């Protein structure tokens, strides 16, 4: 019997606002426990929350990027439940009237490009963090009140790989928009997965299981792969799948039971009486539309067309907005194909070796373009250019400064080059005989000899011309 998985993802993204959703406390990560708190985010009696306008702006920006319906009237609601790190005993979220509905995330899979439909996106506040030790539990409220968007997909993802690509695509988009840094390790992008299986061709969905505690895209993929096999085995053994929440164990790549979920929780949502409805006016919407950046897929298609590069190379470039922008700045001022090679091979090679990203690169785009043009104009050789690049990477200095300091310009004085070539010919009569016997690749031997004698500084074009001329005269 063949089975089909049905997967839905719930993704929380932490918004890059300076202050929390309902108060002026900082959202900065990594401070001392309970340093970023105040009476409002601690839920003290008598306080009144005020919605951060930037949160609404970021939500609308994401809705436009994902082709959602922007609901011009939405309501903040209280979601009532008790948890140690939820000081008010309710979470302010959205329920019946969310700010965004519909839309899709476009991914690339084995079928080409696929649109994964969305159910809704809503605004909510984060809870705190409980830290368990061997003999106690401690609560850090710094995260309480940090603004979130919850992005809920429809159960339309059919493979673990699609889920992986969905998350990658979503992270690229929120980073390009500048609304979230997408850092799963710090919890600014978190994902829960819902999965069920059904016999192939059956329309009715199977029993749904929720998976939590996945802190990387790869872990999401591995957790889903394991859970599909686990559920299939249960059905094949004529047993029933239990509706429950399970945790992913990153050491064993398995899922383990956390709690049963036989009935839906009754959160007793109701509109928050302290917060007015969110009303989005046309001029506010138009202002955000005008500020939308070029999105990853748009940049991908434009790079292929404008710079005539391969799809795989374009995919690598657009993975990071900063990398794509760096490449484009270099390509505009030099040969785009040469720029691609220097960015993907040399630049990323050095950064990956040092476990850095493009934002930590000391080399300026204009300087890399200048280096490429120096090679194209035969001012320096490709070999020297790599030496110069290494020093640029270490110091951030321009190529001209390094070349002048190290005296690395190409030797174009034919007299100097001819002298080195004459010595090479005199010292290697066998190589001369091989050339005269028809072995034209012997030219490479003499090029190497001249380059060695001039420490790689001889102009390769002049070297080749002189070798052909000299050997032809012998």
Hey, is 121 helix, strand or coil?
A: strand
Question: Could you report the per-residue pLDDT of 296-327, keeping only the tens digit for each?
Answer: 999 999 999 999 999 999 999 999 999 999 99
* pTM greater than the 0.75 cutoff: yes
According to DSSP, the β-strands at 73-74 and 244-249 are unpaired
A 10 A CB-CB count for 151 gives 26
Q: Quick one: which of 133, 135, 145, 159 has its CA closest to 4?
A: 159
pLDDT of residue 455: 78
368-406 burial: b if 16+ Cβ within 10 Å, else e: bbbbbebbeeebbbeebbebbbebbbeeebbbeebbeee
Question: Could you report the per-residue pLDDT of 393-452, keeping only the tens digit for each?
Answer: 999 999 999 998 887 777 777 888 888 888 888 888 888 888 787 787 788 888 888 888
Residue the block writes with tokens 């600014």: 188
- For the chain, domains (ranges, CATH) are 3-284 (no CATH), 294-406 (no CATH), 414-473 (1.10.10.410)
Question: Could you report the per-residue pLDDT of 149-186, keeping only the tens digit for each?
Answer: 999 999 999 999 999 999 999 999 999 999 999 998 88
pLDDT of residue 184: 87
Question: Region 1-16: what's the mean pLDDT?
Answer: 95
Q: What is the overall mean pLDDT for the chain?
A: 93
Task: Kindly report the backbone phi and psi dihedral angles of residue 253, in degrees, each rounded to the nearest multiple of 5, phi listed first.
Answer: 55, 40
Provide DSSP, 196-247: EEEETT--S----EEEEEE-SHHHHHHHHHHHHHHHHHHHHTT-PPPPEEEE
Q: Are 414 and 462 in contact (CB under 8 A)?
A: yes
Task: Report the distance separating Cα 300 and Cα 219, nearest Å.
Answer: 27
Task: Report the distance separating Cα 233 and Cα 362, nearest Å.
Answer: 53
Bridge partners (DSSP) listed for residue 206: none
- 262 pLDDT more than 70: no
According to DSSP, the β-strands at 137-140 and 129-132 are antiparallel
pLDDT of residue 381: 84
265-279 burial: b if 16+ Cβ within 10 Å, else e: eeeebebbeebeebe
Q: Are 189 and 179 in contact (CB under 8 A)?
A: no
pLDDT of residue 263: 56
Q: Quick one: which of 463, 472, 464 has its CA closest to 435?
A: 472
CA distances, 3 to each of 162, 203, 210 (Å): 17, 12, 18
- 201 pLDDT more than 90: no
Bridge partners (DSSP) listed for residue 432: none
Question: Could you report the per-residue pLDDT of 83-140, keeping only the tens digit for each?
Answer: 889 999 999 999 999 999 999 999 988 878 899 999 999 999 999 999 988 889 999 9
Q: Are 309 and 340 in contact (CB under 8 A)?
A: yes
pLDDT of residue 261: 61
- 474 pLDDT more than 70: no
Question: Region 29-34: what's the mean pLDDT?
Answer: 91
Q: Which uninterrupted H or E stretch holds 151?
A: strand 147-153
First to last CA, the chain: 80
Burial class (CB in 10 A: 0-12, 13-18, 19+), 348: middle
- 48 pLDDT more than 90: yes
């Amino acid at each position: 019997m063949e089975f089909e998985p049905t997967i839905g993802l719930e993704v929380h993204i932490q918004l890059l606002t300076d202050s929390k959703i309902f108060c002026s406390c900082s959202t900065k990560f990594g401070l001392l426990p309970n340093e970023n708190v105040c009476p409002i985010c601690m839920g003290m009696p008598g306080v009144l929350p005020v919605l951060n306008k930037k949160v609404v702006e970021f939500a609308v920006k994401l809705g436009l990027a994902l082709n959602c319906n922007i609901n011009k009237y939405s309501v903040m609601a209280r979601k009532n439940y008790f948890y140690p790190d939820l000081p008010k005993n309710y979470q302010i979220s959205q329920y019946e009237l969310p700010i965004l509905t519909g839309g899709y995330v476009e991914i690339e899979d084995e079928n080409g490009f696929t649109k994964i439909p969305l159910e809704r996106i809503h605004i909510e506040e984060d809870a705190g963090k409980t830290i368990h030790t061997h003999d106690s539990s401690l609560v850090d409220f710094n995260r309480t009140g940090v603004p979130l968007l919850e992005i809920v997909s429809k159960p339309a993802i059919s493979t673990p790989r699609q889920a992986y690509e969905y998350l990658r695509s979503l992270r690229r988009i929120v980073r390009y928009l500048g609304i979230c840094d997408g850092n799963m390790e710090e919890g600014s992008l978190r994902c829960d997965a819902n999965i069920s299986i059904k016999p192939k061709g059956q329309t009715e969905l199977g029993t749904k299981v929720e998976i939590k505690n996945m802190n990387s895209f790869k872990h999401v993929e591995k957790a889903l792969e394991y859970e599909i096999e686990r559920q299939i085995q249960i059905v094949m053994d004529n047993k029933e799948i239990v509706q429950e929440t399970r945790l992913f164990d990153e050491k064993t790549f398995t899922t383990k039971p956390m709690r049963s979920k036989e009935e839906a929780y009754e959160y007793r949502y109701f509109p928050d009486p302290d917060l007015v409805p969110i009303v989005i006016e046309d001029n506010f919407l138009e202002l955000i539309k005008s500020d939308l950046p070029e999105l990853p897929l748009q940049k991908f298609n434009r790079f292929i067309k404008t710079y005539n590069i391969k799809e795989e190379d374009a995919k690598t470039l657009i993975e990071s907005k900063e990398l794509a922008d760096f490449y484009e700045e270099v390509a505009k001022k030099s040969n785009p194909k040469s720029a691609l090679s220097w960015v993907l091979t040399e630049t990323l090679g050095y950064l990956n070796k040092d476990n850095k990203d493009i934002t930590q690169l000391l080399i300026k785009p204009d300087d890399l373009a200048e280096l490429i043009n120096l090679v194209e104009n035969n001012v320096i050789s490709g070999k020297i250019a790599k030496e110069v690049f290494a020093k640029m990477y270490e110091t951030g200095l321009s190529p001209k400064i390094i070349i002048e300091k190290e005296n690395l310009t190409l030797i174009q004085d034919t007299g100097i080059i001819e002298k080195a070539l004459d010595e090479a010919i005199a010292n290697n009569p066998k190589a001369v005989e091989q050339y005269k016997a028809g072995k034209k690749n012997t030219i490479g031997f003499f090029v190497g000899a001249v380059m060695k004698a001039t420490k790689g500084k001889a102009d390769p074009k002049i070297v080749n011309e002189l070798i052909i001329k000299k050997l032809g005269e012998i």
